[in-house]
């Protein structure tokens, strides 16, 4: 299978949620249409942009210009970079900034940034004046294919990732693929883990296409936009069927039970980006599925091989400072996994595989079995 012919028109993916449906607009230079799309959605609305320092340097001027051309004035709130901004203190700053900018319930918040900004700004929008609509303008690959779609917003707790938050759907998502040109290779790779996730959990043909075309996705062009659109369609379909994660939507957490624990163990720092944690977590989930004889070991090896081929970490030992902060301690990791949002009455829930392209929700997984599996992986030595 080859990459599709490049289309100069943006791709529109509909998130079908009835009267709360919205479009994901995907394409190179789609940011230029932001002002007109906002004007059509909310005539005469005030707008506040929430972004981080690095994104502001690259894309704030263009975003403000797109709004100005449509006759829309905007205020701006700039936060620090990274997971540290998903905190109570920064949430308070953003909320107070929105109130100071006189953002009211008929106005709009624009989240201009990666997953951190989207989660933070979306959560602030959900609680300021008991709910203000917002627009996602994701500037990382991870945000474009995952966190900007579906309405999950929130901040972190010292106990774990995304434990404080709300479901608050955006009214529009603008995924401008040209903004990805400013990402570092490591940031792009981290986002690619979420792209691969859609193939692993529900579309073996897409996973096979990624195996054949990942180099072109990294270099840009039609393959990149096709991968983003396919990922967004996959997530939009699941969200439309299960908006509040009462069932099927939990499948989107493939790799996240392990991955979130690893992020917490590394202090939500740049030692381990979210997508990197998901990559290691997906491999662990695949290998745990093989451990339980749900899939053949060769299937788990195929997942590991592809993620390693694009330069993502796939083993616990690949994480910087592996022996620090509980990463080498199976019991400490189990404690962190016990804080996962999918835990019910203390019972662990994992997303596991019956094959590549078919993930399943495994409730009430035996904790000692998980602990022994982690201990075995921690004992793995490179080259073995």
Residues annotated as catalytic are: 130, 152, 194, 235, 245, 249, 253, 256, 260, 274
Asked if 279 and 304 count as a contact pair (C-beta separation under 8 A), the reply is no
Q: How far apart are CA 59 and CA 273, in angstroms?
A: 22
Both ends of the chain: CA-CA distance in Å? 34
Q: How far apart are CA 208 and CA 206, in angstroms?
A: 5
SS3 358: strand
Question: Which residue spans within the chain are E strands per DSSP?
Answer: 11-15, 22-27, 47-52, 74-79, 108-113, 133-138, 152-157, 160-167, 172-176, 348-355, 358-365
Which residue carries 């319930």 as its tokens?
A: 105
Q: How far apart are CA 320 and CA 340, in angstroms?
A: 23
Asked if 285 and 255 count as a contact pair (C-beta separation under 8 A), the reply is yes
Picking from 261, 246, 272, the residue whose alpha carbon sits closest to that of residue 193 is: 272
SS3 275: helix
Q: How far apart are CA 315 and CA 274, in angstroms?
A: 15
Q: How far apart are CA 235 and CA 240, in angstroms?
A: 9
- What are the φ and ψ backbone dihedral angles of 55, each rounded to 5 degrees? -60, -40
Which is it for the CA torsion 245, 247, 252, 255, positive or negative?
positive
Which tokens sit at 167?
């479901």
Q: How far apart are CA 313 and CA 318, in angstroms?
A: 5
CB count, 10 Å around CB of 297?
A: 13
């Amino acid at each position: 299978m080859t990459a599709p012919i490049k289309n100069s028109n943006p791709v529109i993916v509909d998130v079908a949620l009835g009267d709360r449906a919205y479009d994901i607009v995907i394409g190179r230079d789609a940011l230029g249409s932001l002002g007109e799309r906002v004007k059509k959605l909310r005539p005469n609305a005030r707008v506040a942009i929430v972004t981080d320092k690095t994104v502001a340097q690259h894309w704030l001027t263009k975003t403000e210009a797109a709004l100005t051309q449509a006759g829309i004035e905007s205020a701006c709130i700039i936060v620090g970079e990274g997971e540290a901004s998903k905190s109570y203190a920064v949430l308070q700053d953003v909320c107070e900034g929105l109130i100071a900018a006189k953002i009211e319930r008929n106005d709009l918040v624009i989240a201009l940034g990666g997953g951190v900004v989207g989660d933070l700004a979306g959560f602030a929008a959900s609680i300021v004046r008991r709910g203000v609509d917002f627009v996602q303008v994701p500037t990382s690959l991870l945000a474009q294919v995952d966190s900007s779609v579906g309405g999950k917003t929130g901040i972190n707790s010292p106990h774990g990732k995304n434990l404080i938050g709300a479901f608050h759907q955006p009214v529009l998502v603008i995924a401008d693929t040209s903004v990805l040109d400013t990402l570092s290779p490591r940031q792009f790779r981290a986002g690619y883990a979420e792209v691969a996730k859609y193939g692993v959990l529900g579309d073996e043909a897409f996973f096979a296409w990624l195996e054949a075309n990942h180099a072109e996705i990294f270099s840009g062009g039609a393959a990149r936009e096709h991968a983003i659109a396919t990922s967004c369609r996959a997530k939009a379909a699941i969200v439309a069927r299960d908006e509040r994660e009462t069932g099927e939507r939990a499948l989107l957490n493939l790799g996240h039970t392990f991955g979130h624990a690893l992020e917490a163990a590394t202090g939500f720092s740049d030692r381990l980006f979210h997508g990197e944690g998901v990559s290691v977590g997906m491999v662990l989930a695949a290998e745990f599925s093989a451990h339980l004889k749900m899939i053949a070991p060769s299937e788990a090896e195929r997942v590991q091989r592809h993620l390693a081929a694009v330069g993502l970490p796939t083993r616990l030992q690949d994480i910087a400072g592996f022996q620090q902060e509980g990463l080498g301690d199976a019991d400490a990791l189990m404690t962190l996994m016990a804080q996962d949002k999918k835990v019910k009455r203390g019972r662990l829930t994992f997303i596991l595989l019956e094959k590549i392209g078919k993930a399943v929700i495994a409730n009430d997984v035996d904790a000692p079995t998980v602990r022994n599996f982690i201990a075995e992986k921690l004992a793995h030595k490179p080259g073995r």
